[in-house]
Every structure is written in C-alpha cells, then in structure tokens.
Structure 1
C-alpha cells in the first residue's frame, strides 16, 4: 500500500473539483493573455496607420509576430486539452497518497516539459518509471513533491498526480509502455474497465505527451 501506519499521516486530500477549476482557470487565463497580446500587436499598428495616414512598412512589423502568436495559441489549445484527460482520470479513480516522488530527468519539448519520475510506494519494489507533464503546459517542476503527492490512476496504465496544498496537476504515463505490458496484461476485468473509462489504455509516446487523446 502507498501509505501505512509507519509513515507520517498524509496531508488532507485536495478537493478534486477545486483542483480542476484551478487548472481550467489557469488554462483559460493563459490563452486569454496570448489572445490579448495578439490583438494588441495587430490592432495598434492598424490604429496608428489610420490615425496618421501613414502606410509605412515599420507600422506593419508588429503584425507579423502577432499572427505567429495567434497560430501558436491555436496550436497549443489542442494540446491544452490534456486538462480534460486528467478530469476523466479523476472521475474514474480515487486519489491515494504516495509519500515520495523522485524526478529522474526532464526533457523540453514543444508540448511542454516532460519529466521522468518514479513514484515510490512503501512495501513495493520495482515501481515503473513514469512520464509526467503539467496539465496546463507549465514547464517548471514543483518543489513540494518531496513531501509526497496524491495520485489517481493505475501506474501500468497511467494516471494523474496532484501536489498537496496546491492546485498543480500532472498527467502520467509509463516511460516504457512495452516494459509495463505485463502489469496491464495481469490486470483483472475491473481494473481494465476503469482504465478504459479513463481512456488510459492507449500508448503515449515520449514526444507527444501533450497531444489530446495520445
């Protein structure tokens, strides 16, 4: 079991509804800010051109990054759907406290930083290495993991990790899908049905952690 009498009492379990609300707000705020910057980069040169009657090429310069920022925002919106994937997992699984998670490495990708971690479980050995990515695409690794984390899911399939005392949420998948195949094959009908409900039965490749449905 991830928690027993020999470990300190775990912190209070986070409110799933509040965690999801916080992540939805963070995702919406991120895209709203980018869209606002895009609008300003496009609107200000147009307004200045009309006000001054100038057709100077210099006035059109900010429009170019504005267009690229808009394209990038639309592109990232599809990958931001990972929050909805996490919501499915949290609806299918209860959260269980794990006393420690160790970050082994990280890799920067265009979909967000992908962290390789090991979730330690007291009384169990050979915990699989997992890939973790922030649900809203933030790139930093939180410092609070040394005090333990809350995890919903089934490690051979994947899951969701939530930081105690905070609202940060990470989507998890096995780092080596083939290596954890035995754990999935040995899963009973109930575990398999729950993983299917959470849409965790599909393989996720390292470079596409932020793709919706991956």
Structure 2
C-alpha cells in the first residue's frame, strides 16, 4: 500500500503504532461519545417524563382522550426508535475505538462519495489508496456516530484512514476529528478472502479490530 504525501499545511499523521494513542484522536472520540451519551440520557429523562404524564392522564387515555393517546403514541413508537438510534451510535463508537487500537493513521489523498451508489442508512463512499485513477476502495458504507448520513466535503481534499482497504475501518478529517465508520456493503468473494487469509499478520490485525470478516 502506497502512502500519499501530505500537504505541508495539513496536520501531520501521528507516528504512533495505533491511532488511539494520538491525544487528538482520543479527545475527538471522547467528545463524540460525550455528545451521544448526553443525548441518550436526555432521551431517557424525556421518556420518564412521558411516563409520568401518561400516568396523570391514565383515565383520559382509557376513554380515548387526545392528550393521553398522544403521550402513549410518543412513548410507544417514537421514543423506542430514538433510543435505538443512540444505542447504535454508542456501538459504532465502540467499533471505531477497536479499529483505532489496532491500526495506525495513514494519510489518504482523498475520500469521495461514490458517484453511482446510494445508501439509505449512511453514505456510500470510497477512499483513494494509491496514486492511480482507479486506486479507490470498493464502495463502502460510511457512517458518522452523531449524524449517520453526514458527509464532510473537506475529505475530498484529504483524509486520515485507519484499517484495511479490503475490510474497511475508520476515516476522519486530518487531525483526527469527524470520526466515521467505513464498512463493507457486501460480502467479498471467497477467493479474495482466502488470499488475505494467507497473510497471517494482516488477518490477525483485522480480526483484532473485528473487521476481518468476509
């Protein structure tokens, strides 16, 4: 894998063996986690408040009153969906941390939205891995733990990548902020997987990060 030269004005990639050793990266991860946890707790408090309100309108709810039914609808449909989203964000942050503890940061010349692939649950994106016009990863699912369909156009001018180009990993803005998961959209071929398996060191690192799956 070739390493692209960094622009002189861009933050320099840390020399640490794993990306999570970089103080800036750890700080960015913790900030993202605090925001998700804060929103999650806020949603729980809101749910408890709705429960109290529902209990106050229990009689009206049984009679089909609009206030009680509205609260019951919020509590039964909307709140579980919101909680599900925040739990997914926390799990995604945990996956990011596993990758960052297994791989170093590498500078990549560009990341881009795939021009012909769309995604319902994130952004279909590619990372440029070499100097040739065709040296892009396959289209993978890019998701921000805070905003799942967010795309930062600044990455088109350079990005940090940690992971394996075949399995995915994590990408971020130069400096380690804007952390996002970068995951395969489909299973790779058996032949490609077996070819990677022959490299014990590469496969061991991928499995340590829990991305080494077909």
TM-score (normalizing by structure 1)? 0.76
RMSD of aligned C-alpha atoms? 2.9
Q: What is the rounded CA distance, in whole Å, between the counterparts of 1:148 and 1:196 in structure 2?
A: 27
Distance 1:91 1:165, change over 3 A: closer
* Number of residue pairs the alignment of both structures matches: 194
1:155-202 deviation per Cα after TM superposition (whole angstroms, max 9, x unaligned): 112111112357322111234432595276246211111001001112
The residue aligned with 2:207 is 196
2:125 aligns with: 117
Task: Tell me if structure 1 keeps the 8 A contact 2:107–2:160.
Answer: yes
Q: Which runs of 5+ in 2 are unaligned?
A: 14-21
Task: Report the equivalent of 2:113.
Answer: 103
Structure in which a larger fraction of residues adopt helix: 2
1:32-43 aligned within 5 A:
32-43=41-52
Task: Report the counterpart of residue 84 of structure 2 in structure 1.
Answer: 75
Give, in whole Å, the separation in 2 of the partners of 1:166 and 1:200.
Answer: 20
1:8 aligned partner: 7
Structure 1 runs not aligned, ≥5 long: 204-214
The residue that corresponds to 1:21 in the other structure is 30
Distance 2:184 2:80 in 1: 31
Are 2:177 and 1:159 aligned? no
- Asked if the contact 2:129–2:137 (Cα under 8 Å) also holds between the matched residues in 1, the reply is no
Cα distance in 2, alignment partners of residues 118 and 72 from structure 1? 29
TM normalised by structure 2 equals: 0.76
Q: Where is the strand percentage greater, Structure 1 or Structure 2?
A: 1
- Sort the Cα spacing of 1:106 and 1:36 in 2 relative to 1 into closer, same or farther, 3 A: farther
Distance 1:94 1:58, change over 3 A: same
